[in-house]
Chain A
Amino acid sequence: MVVKSALAANAAPEAAKVAIWGVSMTFETDGKPIDVLTMLDLDVREGEFVCVLGPSGCGKSTLLNIVGGFLRPTRGTVLIDGEPVVGPDPRRIFVFQERGVFPWLTVEGNIGFGLASLAAEERARRIAYYVKLVGLSGFEKVYPQELSGGMKQRVEVARALAVNPDVLYLDEPFGALDSITRLIMRGELLRIWEAEKKTILFVTHDIEESVQLADRVVVMSTRPATIRRIVEIDMPHPRDLSSRRYIELRDSIFEEIGLAHKI
């Protein structure tokens, strides 16, 4: 039986690209069951940029892992284009927070990782295109250990895009970077997104980041996590971070989470 949530912001008029139905997750540690997620419903439209926002440990990464096919939910199901998710799939690529890049391959080697089935010429062409797209021209033959954190994340994004997936999942991809690099990387990600028009599901604990990037922000509660509220960010890109609308939206999320916006 499918239980669809009544929240208006959830339901999509046309068929959703990613449909999360009634997903619950319970882990067993030391014999005690821990409810991490409860009855989550979410629809993501094609080409949308959706942020899942919540504090660390609230289960948002678990949700992303379930959607990505790395975990089986205790209850509920995830459909992509109407097909249920049964495992990881090259049509939906996951970008990890850190250490997702293969250290024994160069930048080129990493980006070309999923392209083994292509002819050599096509492969080289694609690698060159994505190296340029993520701004790593000149670093093709460099090994990840010689790259900064931000550059490694660029490699991961390029590697993910190179196989032309339908959906991208990003699990706090900028969490390990310093705040200046984070701002730069957000701009880069948006630039790439507008060029490639992928559906993106982006997990973060950073309120500002979610308001800066997403079309919709899904605010999660603490464990056992449900969706508290979904905030539509109706601002066009590029978003002015000093504008009234931005500050309104940001503060509404602060309030939703129960934080004061004065320190």
Chain B
Amino acid sequence: MKRLIPFSATTALLAAWFLAVRSQTSGLLPGPLQVMRGLWELLEKGLLVKYMVASLYRVTWGYLAAVATAIPFGLVLGWFRRGELSMNPLIQLLRPISPLAWIPISILWFGVGDTAAIFLIFLASFLPLTVAAMNAVRNVPPTLLRAGRNFGLSDRGLLVKVILPAALPQLIVALRISLGVAWLVVVAAEMIAVNSGLGFLIVDARNAGNRYDLVVAGMVMIGLIGLVLDIGMRQLEKMKALRWGYGS
């Protein structure tokens, strides 16, 4: 019975959408069926897969680059109080600057193309991951640090044997959230600065002929892929060895 509720509500919304579109005067907006057909058309033309791959490619590289740099950086900042004190104001200043505001500079440095987009994704993920790693270190319960010291661990031993394992659950949550942000940014970046990818599809479909069915089809694909990425990351959180970190 419980399963039926979301199913029925969603069906109701789809039906409402269908009817609303039927009764519109402009004929511009697509209904659910037109969107489905639009998706099929994109699939047939090979554009869907091509654009998906382009977006995913950019996200993957930018995101991985950010993970590889931000996490060690954040761990160091979290461990050395002085490091955190000196960098924190800078981080707080840079955080509110939308990655998209970096578009002119990234085009200046990297030209128009994949690298610029990857740089934007990197920027979007770097600061949040750094902050998360910093906080994860700070949040390690002092009791555990004391226990580690009690058993004679050096600084390095403490980092590897206590801080990293203790911080891991929080880090994984941060990784999931940053991936979500990266996905948002890649789409937006593609709408402004690149000539391929799902974001570009949306802009192009409208500009090249008001194909709003393709616009919405693109949006649906973006939502689906973002959802799949999120679910995938949540699976990581569920691994038994890590599950201890999530409430008891």
How does the 8 Å CB contact mask read for B234-248 relative to A, with 1 for contact and 0 for none? 000000011111001
| Chain A interface residues (CB < 8 Å from chain B) | 68, 70, 87-90, 92-94, 96, 99-100, 102-105, 113-114, 143-145, 163
Kindly report which residue of chain A lies nearest to residue B166, judged by CB atoms: A104
| Chain B interface residues (CB < 8 Å from chain A) | 141, 143-144, 146-147, 149-152, 161-162, 165-166, 168, 241-245, 248
With A and B bound together, what is the CA distance between A143 and B147 in angstroms? Answer: 18
Q: Which residues of B contact A90 (CB under 8 A)?
A: 150-152
Give the interface SS of chain B, mostly helix, strand, loop or mixed. helix
Q: Which residues of A contact B243 (CB under 8 A)?
A: 145
Is the CB–CB distance between B245 and A100 below 8 Å?
Answer: no
How far in angstroms is the closest Cβ of chain B from A220? 22
How far in angstroms is the closest Cβ of chain A from B248? 4
Q: Which of B147, B242, B248 has the most CB of A within 10 A?
A: B147
Can you list 7 contacts pairing A with B, beta carbon distance less than 8 Å?
A68-B150, A88-B146, A90-B151, A92-B150, A100-B143, A104-B245, A113-B151
With A and B bound together, what is the CA distance between A70 and B147 in angstroms? Answer: 10
Is the CB–CB distance between B152 and A114 below 8 Å?
Answer: yes
Is the CB–CB distance between B143 and A114 below 8 Å?
Answer: no
Q: Which of B141, B143, B161, B168 has the most CB of A within 10 A?
A: B143
Is the CB–CB distance between A94 and B146 below 8 Å?
Answer: yes
Other A-B pairs beyond A88-B149, A104-B166, A113-B161, 12, CB < 8 Å: A90-B150, A93-B150, A93-B151, A94-B147, A96-B146, A96-B147, A100-B144, A102-B162, A103-B245, A104-B244, A104-B245, A143-B244
Q: Which residues of B contact A94 (CB under 8 A)?
A: 146-147, 150
Q: Which residues of B contact A144 (CB under 8 A)?
A: 244
How far in angstroms is the closest Cβ of chain A from B96? 33
Q: Which residues of A contact B146 (CB under 8 A)?
A: 70, 88, 94, 96
With A and B bound together, what is the CA distance between A93 and B149 in angstroms? Answer: 10
Q: Which residues of A contact B147 (CB under 8 A)?
A: 94, 96, 100, 102
Q: Which residues of A contact B152 (CB under 8 A)?
A: 88-90, 114
